[in-house]
């Protein structure tokens, strides 16, 4: 395994997406996360890296696991943390996003972790604030820390990323996880295939340097990693595919389909899982599944991101 | 008698097929024969127009003046000043005000306000449907009597084809052209940017070109069915150009206009989520830009307009999907079109450009404006087609600053705007 520390200096105050990062920067985050992963195995799981800094988890769209992961990551770096959710915030009283964020900055918040339903909201704030802005998911645009923890997990389990064939299955069109994964994986030299119904995986994605397929059975035997995205039918997707039953028939990772996977193929899922929909329950809990490793690694990756960007911001 | 002589300008008057360096006389606010001032009774003002083009006052038939209701964005007064600064002597304002311009009393208010406050001619349009609701026909006959020059639901689009058909038939009876913002709501959905590479990359909701083309096609079919003119506003896609070209070749009464941003910019500009690149219809691909340029070149698209859409800074400085659509355009459009159409791409010459800003809208809207004929109102735009200048939004006369063209270096602009013989703007 090549773990030689890249010789570079981190210069960004914000993490907005993986599209703007170089392969070297992505590797630097992953290498920094290695050190923080070790911290999590200690008796005392806390380091003073961000002591005296204030982190605001500003979630303008509901999320439990990403917010919890960021909160725990910040606490382990000894930062002070406050959580603000959309319903509690003044956004519901008609204050603009810019004004709310400026107010948080006036309270000397050093790091703003933003989850927002609008693509580009983190860019909007990052260019107007001195605080660090960390994108915790913006619309269907990017979810960089999720992709970084996916990359970290692949690298940890397979020893490399370059040359691997990664298959992402599901609702790609509306997925920020898919976009960040596409940018990160292709920069690090993986081969990416997107699988799903033609309505949710339009051909236009091929211009991003990936392959599009609508036949999962053709793709699975050649996969080194299968990343299954949560599929939603209930909200606003009724025109995109006929229903869950047909989705499972055409694209679900069933027990029967899992038999065609290579023995060392990793099965991933960003969660929360719909058991029996995009993935069979037994497969999700099986030997090839690294779904819980992703959650653990998410903590180390987010510590690395907060440490690197938080060290640049000057408020 | 007040008299002015404009000396040594290149007079381009497409309505009279005139293009020559000659003096032009203005007497009591009207274009006069040179003989009328040969033996003047009193002093004559002189304007030196050497090296300048003397054009009929330009007409922008697609402007949002925001009054009544949204005077924090623009007023009839400030919008008219912006028009004058851009070289326009006549502007046609859209009805999406508050209240909506769908009653004779609101039209009367706009006309009264314009008479008192505006330094250029302001011609109102009215909504096609009551309150722009797309469900009931507005009192189009009474609105015609109140003096509107066209009907349009601009910003909205009537989805019910039966209602649109009856609106066109009714408008024909009262002699008003129908202008349409072409957008199929079911195809466009919550789309905000051109559906293509950049919407895919950025995860922004896509606004497919087919959403415009479906309504352009609908309008062609209804223009043919009703034998009446339908004008497609701010045409943005290659498919729309093709449809309009084919329909015009068959003699159907359909036309299309182009806005400068749709030929100056592509959807690549949205990648930094700057809301000054958010407009409706959206910026499209290079292929669409090329088709629009060809459509202007071969006469398929016959009218140039700005879709001047002022918004306050605080309204635009929000998340991309929350921002209102539109940019200001009156003070940059002539410069952009001169620079791009005449100088850079050489799609048309300056005579045709002036024709697209004068004769074409005047014919469509049945206006007396747009000509330098003897006896016409002395609405004149002096243009320096070679002047190099830099767009500076801080110097705009408009009440708003939402332009993506700040800092652009352009070649060609209006240097003097004359309305009824009176100079209302001068560089």
**Ordered mean pLDDT values, 10 residues apiece, chain B (427 residues):** 93 98 96 85 89 98 98 98 98 98 98 98 98 98 98 97 98 98 97 98 98 98 98 98 98 98 98 97 98 98 98 96 97 98 97 98 97 98 98 98 98 98 97
Sign of CA dihedral A69, A70, A75, A78: positive
pTM reported for the whole predicted model: 0.95
Please give the CATH number for the structural domain made up of B58-365. 3.20.20.140
Instruction: State the average pLDDT over residues A224-232.
Output: 93
Q: Give the confidence band of A6 by pLDDT, cuts at 50, 70, 90.
A: low
Q: List the beta bridge partners of residue B54.
A: B11, B382
**Selected residues 113-152 of chain A with any CB under 8 Å from a CB in chain B:** 116, 118-121, 123-124, 138-142
**Which residues in B317-338 are b (16+ Cβ under 10 Å) and which e?**
bbbbbbbbebbbbbbbbbbbbb
Res. A1: pLDDT tops 50: no
Task: Determine the residue of chain B that is closest to A209 in CA distance.
Answer: B201
Asked whether the beta carbons of residue B273 and residue A98 sit closer than 8 angstroms, the reply is: no
CB-CB under 8 Å, B320 with A208: no
Distance (Å) from the C-alpha of residue A90 to the closest C-alpha of chain B?
15
3-state SS track over chain A: CCCCCCCCCCCCCCECCCCCCCHHHHHHHHHHHHHHHHHCCCCCCCCCCCCCCEEEEEECCCCCHHHHHHHHHHHHCCCEEEEEECCCCHHHHCCCHHHHHHHHHHCCCCEEEEEECCCCHHHHHHCCCCCEEEEEEECCCECHHHHHHHHHHHHHHHCCCCCCEEEEECCCCCCHHHHHHHHHHHHCCCEEEEECCCCCCCHHHHHHCCEEECCHHHHHHHCCEEEECCCCCCCCCCCCCCCHHHHHHHHCECHHHHCCCCCCCEEECCCCCCECCCECHHHHCCCCECHHHHHHHHHHHHHHHHHHHHCCCCC
Contact A140 B320 (CB under 8 A): no
Task: Identify the H or E element spanning B370.
Answer: none
Chosen for mutation from A100, A114, A118, A186 (greatest number of chain B CBs closer than 10 Å) is A118
Range list for CATH 2.30.40.10 in chain B: 3-53+376-426
Closest approach of chain B CAs to the CA of A283, in angstroms? Answer: 30
Instruction: Closest CB to B320: pick one of A19, A96, A118.
Output: A118
Of A6-10, A55-59, B348-352, least confident by mean pLDDT is A6-10
Of B196, B200, B319, the CB nearest to A120: B319
CA distance A163 to chain B (A): 23
A203-232 residues touching B, CB cutoff 8 A: 204-205, 207-208
For A200, which residue in chain B has the nearest alpha carbon?
B200
- Which residues of chain B have a CB within 8 Å of the CB of A124? 273, 318-320
Task: Classify domain B3-53+376-426 at the CATH superfamily level.
Answer: Urease, subunit C, domain 1 (2.30.40.10)
Task: Give me the mean pLDDT over the A297-314 stretch.
Answer: 92
The closest alpha carbon to B267, from B245, B284, B246, B289, belongs to B284
Poorest-confidence range of A13-27, A96-110, B390-404? A96-110
Which class for A311: exposed (0-12), middle (13-18), buried (19 or more C-beta within 10 A)? middle
| HEC assignment per residue over B263-274 | HHCCHHHHHHCC
Could you tell me the strand order of the sheet in which A111-116 lies?
Answer: A80-85, A54-59, A111-116, A132-138
Residue A89 reports pLDDT greater than 80: no
Q: Which residue of A has its CA nearest to B189?
A: A236
Contact call for A179 and B203, based on CB within 8 A: yes
| Mean pLDDT (chain A, rounded) | 93
Q: Establish whether B307 is a catalytic residue.
A: yes
How does residue A63 score in pLDDT terms, banded at 50, 70 and 90? confident
A172 touches A184 (CB < 8 A):
no
Choose, out of B209, B273, B316, the residue to mutate when testing the contact with A (most A CBs < 10 Å): B273
Q: Which residues contact A245 (CB under 8 A, 6 or more apart)?
A: none
pLDDT score, position B1: 77
When CB atoms are compared, the residue of B202, B204, B317 closest to A98 is: B317
Q: Cα–Cα distance between B417 and B83 in angstroms, integer?
A: 9
Question: What single-letter DSSP state applies at residue B126?
Answer: B
Question: DSSP string spanning B164-213?
Answer: HHHHHHHHHHHT--EEE----HHHHTT--EETTHHHHHHTPPEE-THHHH
Distance CA B302, CA B288 (A): 17
Cis before B358? omega within 30: no
Q: Which residues pair with B63 in a beta bridge?
A: B93, B308
Q: Is the pLDDT of residue A90 over 70?
A: no
Q: Please, is B263 exposed, middle or buried when counting C-beta atoms within 10 Å of its C-beta (0-12, 13-18, 19+)? A: buried
Residue B287, chain A, CB below 8 Å: the answer is: no
Least Cα distance to B93 among B132, B58, B129, B65 occurs for B65
CA distance B361 to B213: 23
Strand-pair category, B380-390 with B53-56: antiparallel
- The nearest CA of chain A is from the CA of B322 a distance in Å of 8
Chain A positions in Cβ-Cβ contact with residue B203 (cut-off 8 Å): 119, 138-142, 174, 176, 179
- Please tell me the distance in Å from A134's CA to the nearest CA on chain B: 16
HSE on the CB side for A233, CA within 13 Å? 12
Cβ–Cβ < 8 Å for B46, B286: no
The count of CB pairs under 8 A between chains A and B is 55
Q: Say if B185 is an interface residue toward chain A (CB within 8 Å).
A: no
Catalytic: which of B184, B307, B379, B384? B307
pLDDT for res A3: 40
* CA-based radius of gyration for chain B: 21
Dihedral of CA A260/A261/A262/A263: which sign?
negative
Record: contact A124-B273, CB cut-off 8 A: yes
């Amino acid at each position: 395994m090549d773990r030689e520390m890249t010789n570079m200096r981190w210069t960004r105050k914000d993490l907005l997406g993986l599209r703007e990062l170089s392969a070297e920067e992505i590797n630097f985050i992953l290498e920094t996360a290695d050190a923080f992963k070790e911290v999590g195995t200690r008796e005392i799981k806390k380091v003073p890296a961000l002591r005296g800094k204030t982190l605001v988890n500003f979630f303008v769209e509901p999320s439990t696991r990403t917010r919890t992961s960021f909160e725990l990551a910040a606490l382990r770096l000894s930062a002070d943390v406050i959580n603000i959710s959309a319903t509690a915030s003044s956004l519901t009283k008609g204050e603009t996003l810019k004004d709310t964020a400026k107010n948080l900055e006036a309270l000397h918040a050093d790091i703003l972790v933003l989850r927002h339903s609008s693509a580009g909201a983190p860019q909007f704030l990052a260019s107007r604030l001195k605080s660090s802005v960390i994108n915790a998911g913006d619309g269907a645009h990017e979810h960089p820390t999720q992709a970084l923890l996916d990359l970290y997990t692949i690298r940890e389990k397979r020893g490399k990323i370059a040359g691997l064939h990664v298959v992402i299955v599901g609702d790609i069109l509306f997925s920020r996880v898919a976009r960040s994964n596409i940018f990160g994986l292709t920069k690090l030299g993986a081969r990416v295939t997107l699988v799903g119904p033609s309505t949710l995986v339009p051909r236009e994605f091929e211009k991003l340097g990936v392959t599009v397929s609508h036949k999962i059975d053709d793709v699975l035997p050649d996969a080194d990693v299968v990343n299954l995205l949560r599929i939603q039918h209930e909200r606003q997707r009724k025109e995109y595919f006929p229903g869950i039953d047909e989705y499972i028939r055409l694209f679900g990772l069933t027990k029967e389909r899992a038999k065609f996977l290579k023995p060392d193929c990793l099965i991933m899922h960003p969660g929360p899982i719909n058991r029996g929909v995009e993935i069979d329950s037994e497969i999700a809990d099986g030997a090839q599944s690294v779904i819980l490793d992703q959650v653990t690694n998410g903590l180390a990756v987010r510590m690395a991101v907060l440490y690197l960007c938080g060290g640049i911001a000057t408020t | 008698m007040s008299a002015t002589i404009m000396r040594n300008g290149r007079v381009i008057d497409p309505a009279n097929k005139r293009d020559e360096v000659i003096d032009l006389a203005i007497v009591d606010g009207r274009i006069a024969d040179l003989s009328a001032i040969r033996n003047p009774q009193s002093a004559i003002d002189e304007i030196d127009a050497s090296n300048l083009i003397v054009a009929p006052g330009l007409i922008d038939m697609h402007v949002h003046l925001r009054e009544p209701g949204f005077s924090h964005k623009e007023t009839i007064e400030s919008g008219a000043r912006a028009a004058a600064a851009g070289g326009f002597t006549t502007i046609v304002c859209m009805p999406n005000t508050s209240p909506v311009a769908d009653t004779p009393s609101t039209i009367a208010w706009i006309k009264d306000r314009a008479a008192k406050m505006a330094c250029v001619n302001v011609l109102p349009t009215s909504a096609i449907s009551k309150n722009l609701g797309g469900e009931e026909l507005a009192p189009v006959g009474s609105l015609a009597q109140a003096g509107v020059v066209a009907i349009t639901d601009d910003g909205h689009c009537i989805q019910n084809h039966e209602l649109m058909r009856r609106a066109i038939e009714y408008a024909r009876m009262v002699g008003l052209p129908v202008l349409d913002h072409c957008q199929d709501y079911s195809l466009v959905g919550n789309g905000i940017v051109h559906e293509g590479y950049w919407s895919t990359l950025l995860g922004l909701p896509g606004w497919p070109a087919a959403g415009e083309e479906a309504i352009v096609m609908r309008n062609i079919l209804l223009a043919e069915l009703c034998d009446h003119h339908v004008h497609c506003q701010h045409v943005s896609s290659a498919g729309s150009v093709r449809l309009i070209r084919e329909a015009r070749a068959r003699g159907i009464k359909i036309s299309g206009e182009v806005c400068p941003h749709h030929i100056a910019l592509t959807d690549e500009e949205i990648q930094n989520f700057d809301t000054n690149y958010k407009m409706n219809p959206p910026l499209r691909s290079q292929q669409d830009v090329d088709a629009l340029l060809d459509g202007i070149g071969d006469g398929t698209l016959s009218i140039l307009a700005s879709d001047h859409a002022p918004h306050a800074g605080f309204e635009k400085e929000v998340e991309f999907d929350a921002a209102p659509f539109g940019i200001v355009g009156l003070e940059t459009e002539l410069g952009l079109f001169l620079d791009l159409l005449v100088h850079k791409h050489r799609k048309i010459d300056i005579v045709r450009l002036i024709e697209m800003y004068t004769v074409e809208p005047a014919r469509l809207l049945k206006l007396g404006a747009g000509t330098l004929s003897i006896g016409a109102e002395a609405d004149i735009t002096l243009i320096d087609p070679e002047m190099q200048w830099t767009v500076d939004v801080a110097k705009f006369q408009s009440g708003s600053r939402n332009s993506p063209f700040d800092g652009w270096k352009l070649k060609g602009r209006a240097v003097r705007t004359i309305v009824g013989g009176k100079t209302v703007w001068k560089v």
